[in-house]
Structure 1
Amino acid sequence: MQFVRMLFWVLVLAALIIFTAFNWTSVEVRIWTNLVLETKVPALVIIAFLLGLVPTWLLHRGTRWRLKRRISALETAARTNAANAATNTPPPPVETIRAEDKPNFN
């Protein structure tokens, strides 16, 4: 799995380098009416990519952390219950009361 992940990132980096080499031109980005940012196209693409990737990645990491904590707590509870069940003796059988043994309050 580590190899596939590394191969994916190498391919993404290679594609980014090829894209950068063929699109190294300046563009003007108008943020407000009198605020203009002059930047290169690859920088703009990388910033847009990171603006989409970082929040999603942070959400993924937070969800994964929360679920790992929940699984750990459930596993601990299951181990505790199993240990308690193994050490406890079964309860004595319940005695049934027959109809003729019941007191009559009439």
Structure 2
Amino acid sequence: MQFLKMLFWCLLAFLAAAFTLGNWTTVPIRLVGGLVADVNLPLLLFLTFLLGLIPTLIWQHAARWRLRQRLSAAERALAAATAEPVAYAAPAESAIITQPTV
């Protein structure tokens, strides 16, 4: 299985490199105030990918943290509800032993 994962990542890296070499052109981006920035197309695509990925990762991390908090609270409540009651030791009654009279 490890071999397949490594093969997948190598194939993905090869495809990214082939795309980068095939599309190494500059793209003009018009900024505020009439400024124009020339950016390489692969860099622009990578930045837009990160712009969409990072908020999604933050949301997913927050959702997992919230679910972990809810799960731990439910586990604590379940442990408290099913806990065995503390054994109550009743005080021993004073037993008076009397000898039968003959």
The residue aligned with 2:43 is 43
Seen in structure 2, the aligned counterparts of structure 1 residues 48 and 70 have a Cα distance that, compared at 3 Å, is: same
Please, which runs of 5 or more residues in structure 1 have no aligned partner? 90-106
1:4 & 1:58 partners in 2: Cα distance?
29
Structure having the higher Rg? 2
Q: Identity across aligned pairs (percent)?
A: 41
The residue aligned with 1:87 is 85
* Matched residue type, 1:40: N
10-19 or 34-43: which moved more? 10-19
Seen in structure 2, the aligned counterparts of structure 1 residues 38 and 67 have a Cα distance that, compared at 3 Å, is: same
Please, which runs of 5 or more residues in structure 2 have no aligned partner? 88-102
Seen in structure 2, the aligned counterparts of structure 1 residues 78 and 11 have a Cα distance that, compared at 3 Å, is: farther
1:20 & 1:30 partners in 2: Cα distance?
23
Alignment length (residue pairs): 87
CA RMSD of aligned residues (A): 2.7
**Superposition deviation, residue 26 in structure 1:** 1.1
The residue aligned with 2:15 is 15
* Matched residue type, 2:25: T
The residue aligned with 2:29 is 29
| SS of equivalent to 1:87 | coil
* Matched residue type, 2:36: V
**Superposition deviation, residue 3 in structure 1:** 7.9
Q: Compute the TM-score of the two structures, normalised by the length of structure 2.
A: 0.70
Seen in structure 2, the aligned counterparts of structure 1 residues 28 and 55 have a Cα distance that, compared at 3 Å, is: same
2:21 & 2:71 partners in 1: Cα distance?
47
| 1:50-69 aligned within 5 A | 50-69=50-69
* Matched residue type, 2:49: F
| SS of equivalent to 2:24 | coil
1:76 & 1:2 partners in 2: Cα distance?
38
Q: Compute the TM-score of the two structures, normalised by the length of structure 1.
A: 0.67
